[in-house]
Amino acid sequence: MRRGVRIGVDVGKARVGVARCDPDGLLATPIETLPRDERTVAGVLAHAAELAAVELVVGLPLSLSGADTPSTTDARELAAELAAASELPVRLVDERLSTVTAHRQLQAGGRRAKGSRSVVDQVAAVIILQNALDSERMSDRPPGSVVPRTKDHDIGL
């Protein structure tokens, strides 16, 4: 397992959930929910700089069959923006059902859906990052695929 803090990102149309892990890559924890606007990339990168992160892990929302969804383009675009704006590696990782799982975890903890919208994004980011960490620990390989630094390339999994 590679050492270093990683930042997990759950991309949504209105909000972006952000999570982090400890330097040993054992446990993901929530940081913040950012509004999805022109400051989103700067906000994610500010957290990465503050925590001396070694990598950004962006969830790629695929359908259950593995095909692209309308949200897949959003995630690819934000990942490309992060890669273009930073020297840090940016990885896209499969995040099927992370938001559904986040909603279920919050409901099990007694949170109402209406008051939990911003928290759901953070929990989804935690789930994305934790799954990536667990995958790397089990396979001894970094998860997902690295996003090219230029926007001229296709970004895929």
79, 111, 128 from 60: Cα distances, Å: 9, 26, 9
Q: State both tokens at 84.
A: 């273009």
Give residue 155's pLDDT: 46
Give residue 156's pLDDT: 47
Give residue 157's pLDDT: 46
110-145 pLDDT tens trace: 666 556 666 888 999 999 999 999 999 999 999 999
All domains in the chain, ordered by first residue: 6-141 (3.30.420.140)
Regions of the chain with pLDDT less than 70? 97-107, 109-118, 151-157
Give residue 10's pLDDT: 95
**pTM for the whole structure:** 0.85
DSSP-assigned states of every residue in 47-105: HHHHTT-SEEEEEE-B-TTS-B-HHHHHHHHHHHHHHHH-SS-EEEEE-TTHHHHHHHH
Give residue 154's pLDDT: 47
Separation CA 26–CA 20 (nearest Å): 10
